[in-house]
Amino acid sequence: MSMEDNDLKAIDYELTLLVRRATSAAIDKRLGNLERSHYLMLYELSRNGTMGVKALADAFHLDMSTASRQAAALEAKGYVERLPDPEDGRASFFQLTEYGEQELQNTKQTRLDRFNKLLKDWSTEDRQKFVELLSRLNRTFID
């Protein structure tokens, strides 16, 4: 076992711990009024305009059944509206509603506030580096 393996092991352990803590209710599961899964989906919709179940599932590498249920939940809560796809009778598009947009902004702010507190002692350089490394890792996962 090489010296560098220790870093990798530590990364694995810390990430696993982080995921556990985030899954555990208090930290990340729900912030603002939105569940994590709903937050992500609304976020994606706000960036992309409208998307169908397939596109949402692909964007997050989720099973379509999962994406379908989450989109239905968002619709039931009034965060999104379902529009028929004029070119494909099987498909539909989801679009953020005014209310969904509001909740998304609220939740973004709540989450920002949390990280402001949590990372208040971090230097700008460390924050930037953390973004960079997290992004790189996420992009790697996605391939």
Q: Which residues bind a second copy (CB under 8 A)?
A: 4-5, 7-24, 26-28, 36-37, 39-40, 43, 60-62, 108, 111-112, 114-116, 118-119, 122, 124, 126-131, 133-138, 140-142
Q: Which does 123 bind (CB under 5 to 8 A by kind): a second copy, DNA, none?
A: none
Taking the complex as a whole, the smallest distance from the CB of residue 85 to a second copy amounts, in Å, to: 26
46-105: contacts with DNA (CB under 7 A): 52-55, 61-66, 68-72, 85, 88-92
CB 31 within 8 A of CB 114: yes
Q: Judged by CB under 7 A, does residue 135 bind DNA?
A: no
Closest contact distance (angstroms) between CB of 51 and DNA is 8
Question: Where do contacts with DNA occur on this chain (CB under 7 A)?
Answer: 20, 23-26, 29, 35-38, 52-55, 61-66, 68-72, 85, 88-92
